[in-house]
Amino acid sequence: MENININLFDILTCLSGAIDLARPELSNHHHQVAYLACRLAEKLNLPAEQQRDILIAGLVHDIGAFTVDERLSLIEDERVTAHSHAFRGAKLLRECPPFAKVADTVCYHHLPWDNGAGADFMGSPVPFASHILHLADRTSVLISRGKTVLSQVPGIMERIKQQSGDIFCPTVVDALTGLSDKESIWLELTDKAPLDCIPDISYWGMVRLSLKDIVSIAELFSQIIDFRSRFTATHSAGVAKTAQKLAELIGFSPNECLLMLTAGYLHDLGKLAIDNEVLEKPSALDTREYDIMRSHTYYTYRLLGQIKGFETINQWASFHHEKLDGSGYPFNLSNESLPLGARIMAVADIFSAVTEHRPYRAAMSMAQVAHVLQRMADDQAICPKVTRVVLENLGLLTDTCQEAERDALERYQRFLNEKPDSRSDNS
């Protein structure tokens, strides 16, 4: 299987950027936490590999907080329970091999030190990195955006020192105290791009991943996208598997089919910028809401454009609402500008959508699906060649899509219902 040279930080910047789109007041939080956690690890003389890992953990530490309201509550509450979002995020990371190593750090990043009791949780040792991440996280949220950061440092440090031993690990507090007199630390922390201030970050992030690893990362992204709402919990899986099967039927190579699967998992990445009230509306969208929804493909394109090596994946994922006649969105691309992979994705997305139950309508029958697709192909909205393959394999593709959605739904329900427990039960 082909391996790809890729920068993990490009991928993580893409993900954190997508999360930031949902609410401007939370923007840059993941980058600030990653930056400060890395500086603290450096101050504590941790090995370079551990500094790299804690940087990665900082960039994904709140991925288990699926809604904007939940993310806001993390900002407002200093004593967030160790259960809930941190455990959910860790579970997602454990199932993604490239990021599994930082799962435990994320799992316990809201666990208070509690005068040393926080060194363990339910009989298992808590990574020291979790306590570094905890202090970096809380320091970030104490910074008010409406004031100059240097004027806030004395108050922030006084508050943190008061909570040393109770909330925060004293060793980590001492490290922050040792850094706090450096104005550059605070100015870099609140810079628009704090990670650019860390030397060699691009070198740290360069890895060689198999296509299987790339797919696992894309699947992680899709769960963060889809698990925000019970109405979207299975959509990306259905589209991804349908697109992969279509690509196979059309004659794509095995590696190209894996790229198509990856693009399918990522095609709705921009929906992280869409409020849940729009995603979960139980009736058809009005004009304003539809305009908001139409922006998601643009954001998908912009976000995936940050990942070097994902150029083909980006086109296949982001152009799924373009039409052959040029009437689609967001770029109004037409026939000659749309690669076959994007045409496949467009048909797979429609196929999955019309066969799903939605809050405002039931799933269509196979006859209705065939009629809708043929009409759209006749109108030059979607590719006639791809449509013909769908109609010739309607039963197979229906089974493929429904099986993927069933598996995704079971995973979603298991994910929500599983109680937080020790590491051994989440591995």
Let me know if residue 170 belongs to a domain: yes
Instruction: Please give the share of the chain, as a percent, with pLDDT higher than 70.
Output: 92
Question: Do 162 and 239 belong together in one domain?
Answer: no
* Final residue in a domain of this structure, among 206, 235, 259: 206
pTM here is 0.90
Question: Do 157 and 244 belong together in one domain?
Answer: no
Q: Considering the chain, what is the average pLDDT of its residues?
A: 90
- Over 70: is that where the pLDDT of 424 sits? no
- Over 70: is that where the pLDDT of 66 sits? no
Question: Do 171 and 282 belong together in one domain?
Answer: no
**DSSP line for 42-82:** HHTT--HHHHHHHHHHHHHTTTT--SHHHHHHHHH-SS--S
Looking at residues 48-77, what average pLDDT do you find? Answer: 76
The number of distinct structural domains making up the chain is 2
* Final residue in a domain of this structure, among 149, 175, 206: 206
Question: Do 323 and 370 belong together in one domain?
Answer: yes
CATH number at residue 283: 1.10.3210.10
Let me know if residue 274 belongs to a domain: yes
Determine how many CB atoms are found less than 10 A away from the CB of residue 304. 26
The confidence score (pLDDT) of residue 22 equals 64
- Residue 264, CA distances (Å) to 271, 316, 383 in order: 14, 8, 17
Q: State which amino acid sits at residue 154.
A: P
Tokens standing for residue 269:
């990445």
Question: Do 378 and 236 belong together in one domain?
Answer: yes
Question: Do 51 and 139 belong together in one domain?
Answer: yes
Let me know if residue 424 belongs to a domain: no
Tens digit of each residue's pLDDT (9 = 90 or more) over 330-386: 999 999 999 999 999 999 999 999 998 766 677 889 999 999 999 999 999 999 999
Element spanning 210, H or E: strand 206-210
Question: Do 14 and 80 belong together in one domain?
Answer: yes
Q: Which domain covers residue 301, as residue numbers?
A: 227-417
Let me know if residue 368 belongs to a domain: yes
Question: Do 49 and 194 belong together in one domain?
Answer: yes
The confidence score (pLDDT) of residue 206 equals 86
Let me know if residue 218 belongs to a domain: no
- Three-class SS of residue 6? strand
Let me know if residue 287 belongs to a domain: yes
Let me know if residue 211 belongs to a domain: no
Looking at residues 179-199, what average pLDDT do you find? Answer: 95
Query: Lowest mean pLDDT: which of 74-88, 168-182, 183-197, 307-321?
Result: 74-88
* Final residue in a domain of this structure, among 143, 171, 206: 206
Q: CA–CA separation, 396 vs 407, rounded Å?
A: 17
Strands 124-125 and 3-7: unpaired
Question: Do 115 and 260 belong together in one domain?
Answer: no
Separation of CA 281 from chain center: 22
Tokens standing for residue 161:
């020192």
Let me know if residue 220 belongs to a domain: no
Question: Do 195 and 231 belong together in one domain?
Answer: no
Question: Do 233 and 303 belong together in one domain?
Answer: yes
Tens digit of each residue's pLDDT (9 = 90 or more) over 103-138: 999 999 999 999 999 999 989 999 999 999 999 999
The confidence score (pLDDT) of residue 224 equals 87
- Over 90: is that where the pLDDT of 403 sits? yes
Question: Do 103 and 139 belong together in one domain?
Answer: yes
